[in-house]
Amino acid sequence: MAVMCFGLISCRVGRWLAVISLVIPIYNEAHQIENAIEQISIVLEQINKDYEIILAEDGSTDGSSEIADKLATVNSRITHSHSTIRLGRGKALRVAFTEAKGDILLFMDVDLSTNLRHVSELIEKIHEGYDFAVGSKMILGSKVDRPLVREVVSKTYNWFVRRLFDVKLTDMQIGFKAFKRSRLIPLLKEVEANHWFWDTEVMIRAARKGYKIAEIPVEWRQGPDSKFNLVRDITSVGISLLRLRFILLFEKPRYMSLKE
């Protein structure tokens, strides 16, 4: 007998209920951590009771560490992964994912720029057999609210990545991704990027290995406190792209193309 599931709840008779680990990278986010955790907890409770939230707090100086400590103290589902020095967003995520207990690993930005109704869609794609599931601001059905200059830069960047690395993914940098643990953790040993380029390197390496990757359209709006600096970080990411292209020239991928 089938069981009907509504709203954010994802379930099936006989379905293996995976443990979910959600990682949130944090750097000087004191003003929005508690609100984000409250909203995220509501969503995860509806999807799967067996979950944890890891606050990957990366050497904050604005009181974020103290707030993360408090949240972890009052809620056993929350863990504070703290660094006394700035590791970089990518390295902080790598540390947190390695510490996570879940079978399905997710991360999202603390500003909740992606609508939380899409969380269940990511998890459902992993249940369907995909290795990775990622949001996309670039595919049909997505709704995006951000300044024109950021829109142009983002589309240009993703176009360049697709041409340079011959991958079909449309949105490398969105902070809204889910992974099958058994596929992500071994891959992290190869990823060298420690900051903004981490997302792109993970996705490129996964595609080259033939990982089965799903992209879903999302509703996304740029938060007012974005820490991505167009001049400084675009230059850094551009250098990282060229460096990775050089490195991969001498690496033979396990599979030659992305699985559809």
Considering 62, 199, 225, 233, which one is annotated as catalytic? 199
Residues 107, 23 contacting (CB under 8 angstroms): yes
Q: Measured in whole angstroms, how far is the alpha carbon of residue 233 from the centre of its chain?
A: 18
Cα separation, 65 vs 80, in Å, equals 8
Confirm if 203 and 167 have CB atoms less than 8 A apart.
Answer: yes
Task: For residues 154 and 110, give the distance between their C-alpha atoms in angstroms, rounded to a whole number.
Answer: 20
**Long-range pairs of 74-80 with CB within 8 A, sequence gap ≥ 24:** 75/41, 77/41, 77/51, 77/52, 77/53, 78/37, 78/52, 78/53, 78/54, 79/52, 79/53, 79/54, 79/55, 80/55
CA 103 to mean position of chain CA atoms: 15
- Quote the CA–CA distance of 220 and 223 in Å, as a whole number: 9
Q: Quick check: is 199 catalytic?
A: yes
210: left (phi over 0), alpha (psi -120 to 50) or beta: left
What are the catalytic residues?
A: 199
